[in-house]
Amino acid sequence: MVNFTFLEVTDKELLDKVFIFRYKVLEEVYPKYLHKAGIVGIKEHDKYDPYAIHFAALDKEGEVCATVRLIYHSPIGYPTENSTQFDNSMFDRDKLGEMSRIFVGAHYRDMKTTKIIINEFKKLTYLKMMKIGVEYSYGYLEESFLRLLKIYKMPYHPIGAIHQDENLGLRYPCILYTEELGTTNPEFIKLWEQK
């Protein structure tokens, strides 16, 4: 059993480690994205990061081994709606967010360990979304990752046609309803009610 620490990132030193970790994952999985975005050096961050709450999983050595961010109240829009076309008028901007940069380190990308990581991130993000009033969050997801998240009880729904992203391949614009995330994971509702 791997021991992880899951936390909301609140200091600059750890946030820098998150950006370094993200760069390594993108270098491995989407090098074309880094090149097209003109990202050089060892850190990956973008224009949405200042409007995001960052979460990280640390391994037993205290190194970042997984990340996710929750963007909300973004005055520049969200990655999903800025990358593809769909009807976004159905969502109240004050209750909207986007989860992205759901990255797991290569050493931990097996079904069992990834499930542990995703489950803890689900819990952290659900509690945070309930606290700040995010009722739904976008995702810009590959079909295979969309299926995997559904297996892990993250019920994203496509809200537009599949889109060929020049850097990231085929992606669906999706939405995740916070209330449905809770009903799919009823233990999270109990945790929220105890707070």
Average pLDDT of the residues in 173-187: 98
Band of the pLDDT at 37, cuts 50, 70, 90? confident
Average pLDDT of the residues in 39-57: 93
In this structure, the strands spanning 96-104 and 136-141 are parallel
Phi, psi of 18 (to 5 degrees): -60, -45
Both tokens of 67, joined, read 């990340």
Query: What average pLDDT does the chain have?
Result: 94
pLDDT of residue 29: 86
What pTM, to 2 d.p., does this model score?
0.94
- First and final CA of the chain: distance in angstroms? 28
Average pLDDT of the residues in 4-13: 97
Please provide the CATH number assigned to the domain covering 5-194: 3.40.630.30
Q: Is the dihedral of CA 99, 100, 104, 105 positive or negative?
A: negative
pLDDT tens-digit readout, 108-162? 999 999 999 999 999 999 999 999 999 999 999 999 999 999 999 999 999 999 9
Band of the pLDDT at 33, cuts 50, 70, 90? confident
| Residue burial 156-194, b: 16+ Cβ < 10 Å; e: rest | bebbbeebeeeebeebbbbbbebeebbebbeebeeeeee
Q: Which residues pair with 140 in a beta bridge?
A: 173
For residue 114, the SS3 value is helix
Q: Contact, 136 vs 96, CB < 8 A?
A: yes
pLDDT tens-digit readout, 152-176? 999 999 999 999 988 788 999 999 9
In this structure, the strands spanning 64-72 and 52-58 are antiparallel
What angle (nearest 5°) sits at the alpha carbon of residue 139, between those of residues 155 and 151? 30
Residue of 32 and 155 predicted with greater confidence: 155
CA 194 vs CA 7, 93, 127, 189, 191: distances in Å = 19, 28, 11, 9, 5
Q: Contact, 176 vs 156, CB < 8 A?
A: yes
